[in-house]
Structures are given as structure tokens and as C-alpha cells.
Amino acid sequence: MWFAYRAAGHPLSYWQAFKGRTPFLDSGPLWFVQVLLYVSFGYAMWTWRGWGRRFQGTPVRGVPIAAAATIMATSFLLRLPFPARSQQVLDLQLWWSPQCVGMFCLGALVSGQRWVERATANLARWCGIAVATTIVVAPQLAVGAAWSTSPGTA
């Protein structure tokens, strides 16, 4: 975070950036790496215990829809006690947990299903168009949003 403050033109020392974080030891944009570490450790324990063997080779036809519904419901319920941008222990940003954990588990569950090999050329083409459009349009939207909120513009 000290580098981010310095790059933004704030002349503060490393110690000021370290002590001045709210909450203390706030991980800043690296909170996701911390959550990924915990989820990966849980997955390693799961596979080490052999609990995942019964899911190998099982078709997952309805699982993505069930996973989406579960992630949506748990996200709503978890945001009631932990609203977005609220301060939590170790800056875990618990309101993101259902999405992070749910998508990780879904990816682990379908990893042996060979979805990439079964993707059609048409799907790959439309995904490429979506990515190219996003790369072109997102910067223009960001500049437009910055211009419309800058002082002196009407």
C-alpha cells in the first residue's frame, strides 16, 4: 500500500502507511490472495483426506445452476451482517466469501469434466468477441466517467 500511496503523490513514510491502516494490518488489494490461500489450504486438506474421490467422474449437469443459486442466496444472507466495505478481522472482506469459495469449489468439482475440450468453436468465437469488446469499451467508459465527475464540467 505504501507504493500505491507514493504513486498517488502522497508523501508518507513506510511506517506511516503501516501504522495508519484501518483496520490495522489491512491487506489492501491483496485480501483476495489471503482468501485464496485459506481456500486452497481447505481444498488440500479435503483431497488429502480422500473426501473428493467420490465426485471424480460424476456428471455435473445441474451443478452450475445449483451453484449459482447457492452463491446468490448465501451472498445475500452474508451481506446482512457484513455489508460491503465494512471492516472485518484481517481485512477478509467476508461479503465476497460466497462468490470466492463457491467459484473455487465449482472449478474444483468440474476440473475433470474436460469442459475446455468440449467447448465449441462458436462459443470460443463469441467469448473472444466479448473480451475484445470489453477491452475497447471499458477504457472509454472509465475516461467518460472521470470526465463527467471532474470539477468544472457540466
128-151 pLDDT per residue, tens? 999 999 999 998 888 887 776 666
Domain check: are 60 and 104 in the same one?
Answer: yes
According to DSSP, residue 112 is labeled: G
Helix (H/G/I), strand (E/B), else coil: 142: helix
Q: What is the pLDDT of residue 72?
A: 92
CB 91 within 8 A of CB 31: yes
Q: What is the pLDDT of residue 151?
A: 62
Domain check: are 73 and 23 in the same one?
Answer: yes
Domain check: are 137 and 90 in the same one?
Answer: no
d(CA 28, CA 38): 17
Domain check: are 57 and 93 in the same one?
Answer: yes
Q: What are phi and psi of 94, to 5 degrees?
A: -60, -20
The three cell numbers of residue 69 are: 443459486
Does the pTM surpass 0.85? The reply is: no
Q: What is the pLDDT of residue 136?
A: 95
Q: What is the pLDDT of residue 62?
A: 75
Distance of alpha carbon 75 from its chain centroid, rounded? Answer: 13
d(CA 93, CA 83): 9
For 150, the domain range is 119-154
Q: What is the pLDDT of residue 131?
A: 97
Domain check: are 113 and 123 in the same one?
Answer: no
Total domains in the chain come to 2
d(CA 110, CA 57): 9
Domain check: are 107 and 125 in the same one?
Answer: no
Sign of the alpha-carbon dihedral angle for 119, 123, 129, 133: negative
pLDDT in tens, the chain (154 residues): 777 777 888 888 888 877 776 666 666 677 788 888 888 998 888 888 877 666 565 666 777 788 889 999 998 998 888 887 777 766 677 788 888 888 888 888 777 777 778 889 999 999 999 999 999 999 888 888 777 666 655 5
Domain check: are 152 and 90 in the same one?
Answer: no
Domain check: are 25 and 46 in the same one?
Answer: yes
Domain check: are 79 and 8 in the same one?
Answer: yes
CB-based contacts of 51, cutoff 8 Å, min separation 6: none
Q: What is the pLDDT of residue 56?
A: 60
Domain check: are 8 and 47 in the same one?
Answer: yes
Distance of alpha carbon 70 from its chain centroid, rounded? Answer: 16
CA dihedral 44, 49, 51, 53 (to 10 degrees): 90
Domain check: are 85 and 71 in the same one?
Answer: yes
Domain check: are 112 and 100 in the same one?
Answer: yes
